[in-house]
Amino acid sequence: MPPRPTMSIAATLAAHRKKTSIINKYQPIGQAGAATGGGGSAGNTTYSSSGTTISSGQTVAPPKRPLYTSSSQAPPTPAAKKPKPSTTTAPPESLPVYLDQVVSDATGSQVNACQYNTTGEYILTGGVDRTVRLWNPDTGFCIKTYEAHGWEVLDLAVSPENGKFASCGGDRTVFLWDVMSGMTIRRFTGHTQRINTVDFNEEGTVLASGSYDTTIRLWDCRSQLRAPIQILEEPKDSITSIKIKGSDLLAGSVDGSIRIYDIRMGTIITDQIFEPVTSVSFSKDGNCVLASSLDDTLRLMDRANGTMLNAYKGHTNNKYKIRSCLSNSDAYVLSGSEDGNIYIWDLLEGEVVHKVTAHSKIVSAIDYHPKQDRMCSASVDGSIKTWSTRPVGS
């Protein structure tokens, strides 16, 4: 069998893994290195950048076993049994599983979105109380409340320069806010149904919003154009999640597919996963796509060829939109759950590494700190919490 291009991804992820100094559970395999090298040199131009990453990683670390072993390879040598990760064992150091701060207790109303700003200093939350709130995650102080929405807030996006953020929700309008003044700068109207998700491009010049009306609209933040720059109408059902990375626009839809609009290449890549997709996110290197779907499963899809790299199960997610994310190192997969816990999987192994008992109700949103190993979570019960790698006080 020819080496699969996914191997380079796996190797990349493994390299990430190593970077984060996680216990190396993988024993070196002779062929794996070759295979990895083959994967890198397979001429897959898409991954040329990641190929360099691999080579550098290989100099430092023993070759990692690829995620996938093709049948043509020689059987791996027997090795010591890998310790089964379990929730009972101590979580890896880099996992933010200890409660850091209760930003907001469960007295508030349902929170739909929580989001770190790009520096991780603040948290923005939005919920059914029709407000967006800016919190200090360390003290739990509510710095500012942004009120303009007439309906619940469903999603937030912080502009890269942190000066603005966008919110959307039931009022079919994307609000572009000025963080300091608390006023809306622009209000983009055009969607005919509630807007589920919104995201900035990396320069903060374009806002993408996905709506229940099955369209994605791209709004220009620079000019005063009232009409959207473009309307993407390919999805057949409600758009639940949009992420933009580079020139890729990733959209998950209830129609059971993940779409990547590659603006640079001018192609739409549609990956069917046959289950309503509720949350999508890119891995940090942009080569993998993590998708939550309503069959209690998260899937890690290969952007290059649409194969599924891994599936993550164990949590409950079959009714609600629950956000998932990857850790900064791309080593872990995190997702909320309808049982109030936060589940953390090892990206490679697909096992639940840790289960954080977080909230009393559905964990609607989690977000990983952009720089540190922290995360914040918000729940339907109205509570907002932050988590760190160490218990408070230690």
Partner 1 sequence: MAANDILVVVGTPLPQPKKSSLAADSSRRPHPTRDLEASTALHGLVKDEHGRRRFHGAFTGGFSAGYYNTVGSSEGWTPSEFVSSRNNRSNIKSSRPEDFMDEEDKQMLSDATRITATDDFGASGSAQRDLERKRATAMNMQASGSVLGALSDNMIDDLIVPTSESIGARLLKRMGWKPGQGIGPRVSRQQRYSKANLSSDDNVPANVTFAPVDSAIIVFTNKSNHFGLGFNPHKDAPEFGVSAHAQSESRYLSGADSGVTRSKLGFGLLNDSEDDEDDDNVFGSGSNYRHQVRMEKDMDSAVSLNKRRKSSHGSIPSSNSKSASALMYCSDGRPPLTGFLLVAVKTQDPKWYTAPIVPSNFTPRHTFSSNGKTTSSTKQHGWSKLTADDRALVLGETPIDAPRRSVFEYISSENKNRLDGALGFVLDVEGEKHLRKDHWEVPTIEKSAAEAALQGFIPFSDDVSKQQRYKQYLNIQAGQSAEKIEMVQGFSGEDMNKELNEFKSQAAKAAEMGMFGPLTRSMADFYPNKLLCKRFNVADPHPEHKDVGPDTAKDLLDKATMDSMLMERSSARFSLSRETLVSTENEASSITGLLDDGTMPEMEQEQAGSPIQVPQERPPMDIFKAIFDDSDSGSDSDVDMDADASAITMAPSQLINPTSEAIAKEQDKGDVAVVTQMMENGLEGASAIPFRPIFTKRTNRPTRSPSPRAGSPNQAPKIDLRRLDDRARDEGSEAESDDAHIGPRLDLSEHRTTTKSAGRALSRKTSSTGADTHHHPSTDQEIGPGCFTLSSRSHNRDSSEEFIGPPVAPTGAMEYTFSTVEESGRSGQRRKEAEDRDHKARRESRSSKRHESLGSRKDESEHSRSRRSRSERSSGSHRRSLSVEYTASKSRRHTEVESNHSAASADSDEHEHLAEARRSDGSLSAWKSSKRARAADDRVGDRQDAESRSDRARKDRTSTRRHKDRRSRPNDRDGELDRGRSSSNRRHKHSRTEGEPSRRDGRDRDRTQGHSRDRHAKAREDEDDSDGVWVEKEVAGAWAEKESEAPDSADFAQAAVSSRSRPRAAAFF
Q: How far is the CB of 288 from partner 1 (least distance, A)?
A: 13
The residue within the footprint of partner 1, chosen from 21, 49, 52, 77 (CB under 8 A), is 77
Residue 120 as a binder of partner 1 (CB under 8 A): the answer is: no
CB 107 within 8 A of CB 375: no
Q: Judged by CB, which is closer to partner 1: 102, or 225?
A: 225
Residue 248, C-beta contacts closer than 8 angstroms, at least 6 positions apart: 260, 261, 262, 263, 264, 282, 286, 303
- Report the alpha-carbon distance of residue 117 to residue 114 in Å, rounded: 10
Q: Contact region for partner 1 (CB under 8 A) — 50-58, 108-116, 134-142, 258-266?
A: 258-266
Summarize the chain as % helix, strand, coil (round to 5): 10, 40, 50
- Nearest-5° Cα angle at 94, 90 to 96: 80
At 30, which helix (H) or strand (E)? helix 30-40
Residue type, 327: S
Six-digit token string for 226 = 């009232």
Shorter beta-carbon distance to partner 1: residue 179 or 273:
273
Instruction: Name which of 123 and 309 has its Cβ closer to partner 1.
Output: 309
User: Can residue 269 be called a binding residue for partner 1 (CB under 8 A)?
Assistant: yes
Q: Where are the alpha helices (DSSP H) in 119-234?
A: none
Segment 276-335, which members bind partner 1 (CB under 8 A)? 299, 301, 305-308, 310-311
Site for partner 1 in 147-206 (CB under 8 A): 201, 203, 205-206
Residue 292 token pair: 């939550």
Considering only residues 234 to 253 of the shown chain, the ones binding partner 1 according to CB under 8 A are 234, 247
Return the range that interacts with partner 1 (CB under 8 A); candidates 45-53, 68-76, 114-122, 371-379.
68-76
Distance CA 238, CA 211 (A): 6
Q: Provide, rounded to whole angstroms, the least separation between the CB of residue 385 and partner 1.
A: 33
Nearer to partner 1, 183 or 225 (CB): 225
* Binding of partner 1 by 233 (CB under 8 A): yes
Residue 137 to residue 120: CA distance in whole angstroms: 9
Closest CA relative to residue 316, chosen from 299, 292, 333:
292
Q: Which one of residues 54, 132, 273, 376 is an interface residue with partner 1 (CB under 8 A)?
A: 273
How near is the Cβ of 354 to partner 1 at its closest, in Å? 20
**Binding partner 1 by CB under 8 A: which of 75, 90, 107, 224?**
75
Amino acid identity for residue 368 in this structure: Y
Pairing state of beta strands 239-245 and 230-232? unpaired
Residues that bind partner 1 (CB under 8 A): 1, 65, 67-71, 75-79, 81-82, 201, 203, 205-206, 218, 220, 222, 225, 227-231, 233-234, 247, 261-274, 299, 301, 305-308, 310-311
